[in-house]
Amino acid sequence: MKTIKGPAVFLAQFMDDKEPFNSLEGLCKWASELGYKGIQIPTWETRLIDLKKAAESKTYSEELKGKVESYGLEITELSSHLQGQLVAVHPAYDIMFDNFAPDEYKNNPKERTKWAVQQLKYAAKASRNLGLDVHGTFSGALLWHTAHPWPQRPDGLLELGFKELADRWIPILNEFDEWGVDVCYEIHPGEDLHDGVTFERFLDATNHHKRVNILYDPSHFILQQLDYIQYIDFYHDYIKMFHVKDAEFNPTGKKGMFGGYADWRDRAGRYRHPGDGQVDFQTIFSKLTEYGCDVWAVLEWECCIKSPEQGAREGAPFIQKHIIEATQKRFDDFAGSEIDENKLKRILGLKKD
């Protein structure tokens, strides 16, 4: 067994134009004072990191790491969720996902994809320069518009879609492999990797590439009504990142899983602050500890009711309370004795006095 590390916080949702949320130094001081021990850095936020420079300059990476450590913090992982999304975008979503790309790549899907792929490759080397061996991202989606198929999916569509997705990712995965970094896909509605079956489809399509792993976030499974506890039993060997985020699903006679196009606050399935929703974090932390998952417990704030300021204040003690110091001894060791083979045989009735 292994003790989960933490508490840590994902900085993406806390970024703002006002201090202390507009700079790395300000956010580090803020996180440290709240009791966090680690930060997860979104690589699209240029106020926090120059990703290309971090990939190309070991000196810059060491200075960045040193700056974070000066506040008593560690960089837990880098995140490239927005860039990963742009590795695979169905044309129906081109206009909306253009918001994730720099202006010079908007309205040019082909160049936008090239940019995204290069960003991921920078992230691989930058992670290694920072001493990190895991990285979080999204898979992107070519098939999501067929998740609830109407008209029905023609035969062969799924196989072709996952082959194309794998073909796009394999060169990126190979780059991560070169630098000894695992890619942890956040299993998430809207992505082609959104549950266990789709993760396995992608794993097969990449010929079980050893860098394909999972960022586990139970909130996304509440919204799908998937057994998020048993998910750990199935995929614990692949879980190498962990977002602590809650959710609830309260269907009525008017709305269910698809939400009726309502805003988040009015949906049957909605994200909540840890402890305010329906996720059983006590069992999750127990399972991850029992299986020896080497992960940071990272708060991701996406609550539709509670403010980010309160969420951040409450997040560190919530995570700390749930971290289990993995035992290195059995509770009944006091009643044990030294191994004696003759004695063991006598207990089994295999040897007479």
**Is residue 353 one of the residues assigned to a domain?**
no
Q: Is residue 326 part of a domain?
A: yes
Quick check: bond before 171 cis, omega within 30?
A: no
In a domain, 352, yes or no: no
What is the full per-residue pLDDT of the chain (353 aa) written as tens digits?
999 999 999 999 999 999 999 999 999 999 999 999 999 999 999 999 999 999 999 999 999 999 999 999 999 999 999 999 999 999 999 999 999 999 999 999 999 999 999 999 999 999 999 999 999 999 999 999 999 999 999 999 999 999 999 999 999 999 999 999 999 999 999 999 999 999 999 999 999 999 999 999 999 999 999 999 999 999 999 999 999 999 999 999 999 999 999 999 999 999 999 999 999 999 999 999 999 999 999 999 999 999 999 999 999 999 999 999 998 877 777 667 788 888 888 889 997 65
The SS3 assignment for 279 reads: coil
CA angle 308-310-313, nearest 5°? 105
Specify the CATH number for the domain of residue 320.
3.20.20.150
pLDDT at residue 353, rounded to an integer: 57
Task: Identify whether the C-beta of residue 112 lies closer than 8 Å to the C-beta of residue 98.
Answer: yes
Residue 297 lies inside a defined structural domain of this protein: yes
Q: What domain count does the chain have?
A: 1
Question: Using CB atoms within 10 A of its CB, is residue 243 exposed (0-12), middle (13-18) or buried (19+)?
Answer: buried
Domain extent, residue 206, equals 5-347
The residue among 258, 261, 282 whose CA lies nearest residue 269 is 258
Q: Which residue shows structure tokens 């995140």?
A: 79
- The Cβ of residue 298 has, within 10 Å, a number of other Cβ atoms equal to 29
Q: What is the pLDDT of residue 122?
A: 98
Q: Which amino acid is at 6?
A: G
pLDDT recorded at residue 153: 96
Q: What is residue 336's predicted lDDT score, i.e. its pLDDT?
A: 74
